[in-house]
């Protein structure tokens, strides 16, 4: 009689235990998924904040060029010495600025055919040249390094150039912010500031606790402005080429979808050949460049993993 009663109790408890265990499993899964989604959202927000920080740095440099352009354009007369002094001051205002130029339109300065004073950093000092007579024909659109003058002279709008090698002047891979100079409404030239590509890291500092491994910056046409995998000639690298080098060619469409905002994150393996990490993207407001940040998957998911382990422990206690 007693054993029969025990059997009935066991038979009654088995479904109850099964239901309870199932409920714990489902709740643990839902909590883990919710925690995962929260971790992704948090990291996407962090990426946006880092991109804004980087963008703010670029904009502060752009403002230096804009102020100098306004100063030159509004003066009725300015000497060659004054221009070189102003350009040197641009370098002193921000250590991230590699060089600064004032490229005058033909005949706009003392009727010279070409005149573009340029100052730039070397390891020992600050040097100066006239690009127009000592460098190259900056008015020639076909030479591949005159976008900084040619485009603003046509559009009368400031721009950030694509990366290029400034052969004959700065002689480094750089990007340039170029501002048109107008006098009485007429175009007289451009005022520029240059950033050497390897110095772009100085415009950013991430949190050690965020899980950030490293970041990239590229133009909308997928040319890298900053690529930590290619420190020497990073201005020549592209998204497609870098994915091929890291054996991730099959992920290019996923990354493009990420940039378009169709995915919150995608798997990536730029800095690890063993396991996938997570790539996030954010667009810079000032020039449309794309900021790509790769985060350590385990660091991002640390909170979610704690939730999962807590659920497993709870189920184990119930079964015991």
In CATH, the number for domain 29-56+207-304 is 3.30.450
Least confidently predicted of 16-20, 118-122, 151-155:
16-20
Given the structure tokens 């925690």, which residue do they identify? Answer: 35
Structure tokens at 289: 């460049």
Where exactly are the structural domains of the chain? 29-56+207-304, 75-199
Q: Is the pLDDT of residue 46 over 80?
A: yes
Residue-averaged pLDDT of the chain: 85
Residue 100 · residue 119 · CB < 8 Å: yes
Nearest residue to 255 via CA among 201, 293, 297, 210: 293
Q: Rounded mean pLDDT of 55-78?
A: 90
CB-based contacts of 134: which residues, under 8 Å, 6+ apart? Answer: 168
Residue 175 · residue 187 · CB < 8 Å: no
As a whole number of angstroms, the distance between CA 131 and CA 102 comes to: 10
Asked if CATH classification 3.90.380.10 holds for the domain at 75-199, the reply, yes or no, is: no
Q: Rounded mean pLDDT of 153-172?
A: 91
pLDDT digits (tens, 9 = 90+) for 73-117: 887 678 999 999 999 999 999 999 999 999 999 999 988 999 999
Confidence at residue 27, expressed as pLDDT on a 0 to 100 scale: 44
Q: Is the pLDDT of residue 261 over 70?
A: yes
Least confidently predicted of 24-38, 39-53, 57-71:
24-38
As a whole number of angstroms, the distance between CA 216 and CA 221 comes to: 14
Do 29-56+207-304 and 75-199 agree at the fold level? yes
Q: Is the pLDDT of residue 303 over 70?
A: no
pLDDT digits (tens, 9 = 90+) for 236-251: 899 999 999 999 999 9
Give a three-class secondary structure readout of 64-88.
Answer: HHHHHHHHHHHCCCCCHHHHHHHHH
CB-based contacts of 253: which residues, under 8 Å, 6+ apart? Answer: none
pLDDT digits (tens, 9 = 90+) for 177-236: 999 999 888 999 999 999 999 888 875 655 555 788 999 999 999 999 999 988 777 788
């Amino acid at each position: 009689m007693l054993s029969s009663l025990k059997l009935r109790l066991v038979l009654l408890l088995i479904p109850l235990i099964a239901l309870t265990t199932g409920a714990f499993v489902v709740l643990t899964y839902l909590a883990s998924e919710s925690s995962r989604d929260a971790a992704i959202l948090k990291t996407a927000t962090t990426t946006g904040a880092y991109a804004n920080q980087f963008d703010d740095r670029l904009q502060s440099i752009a403002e230096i060029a804009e102020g100098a352009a306004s100063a030159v354009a509004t003066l009725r007369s300015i000497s060659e010495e004054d221009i070189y002094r102003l350009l040197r001051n641009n370098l002193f205002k921000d250590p991230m600025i590699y060089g600064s130029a004032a490229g005058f339109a033909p005949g706009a300065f003392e009727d010279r055919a070409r005149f573009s004073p340029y100052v730039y950093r070397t390891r020992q000092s600050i040097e100066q040249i006239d690009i127009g007579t000592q460098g190259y024909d900056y008015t020639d659109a076909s030479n591949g390094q005159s976008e900084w003058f040619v485009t603003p002279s046509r559009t009368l709008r400031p721009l950030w150039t694509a990366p290029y090698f400034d052969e004959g002047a700065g002689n480094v891979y750089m990007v340039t912010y170029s501002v048109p100079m107008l006098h009485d409404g007429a175009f007289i030239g451009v005022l520029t500031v240059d950033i050497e590509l390897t110095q772009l890291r100085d415009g950013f500092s991430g949190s050690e606790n965020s899980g950030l491994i490293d970041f990239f910056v590229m133009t909308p046409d997928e040319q890298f402005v900053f690529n930590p995998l290619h420190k020497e000639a990073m201005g020549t690298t592209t998204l497609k080429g870098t994915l091929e080098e890291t054996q991730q060619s099959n992920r290019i469409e996923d990354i493009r979808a990420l940039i378009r905002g169709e995915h919150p994150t995608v798997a990536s393996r730029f800095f690890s050949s063993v396991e996938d990490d997570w790539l996030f993207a954010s667009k810079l407001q000032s020039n449309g460049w794309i900021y790509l940040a790769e985060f350590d998957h385990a660091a991002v998911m640390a909170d979610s993993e704690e939730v999962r382990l807590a659920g497993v422990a709870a189920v184990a206690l119930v079964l015991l």
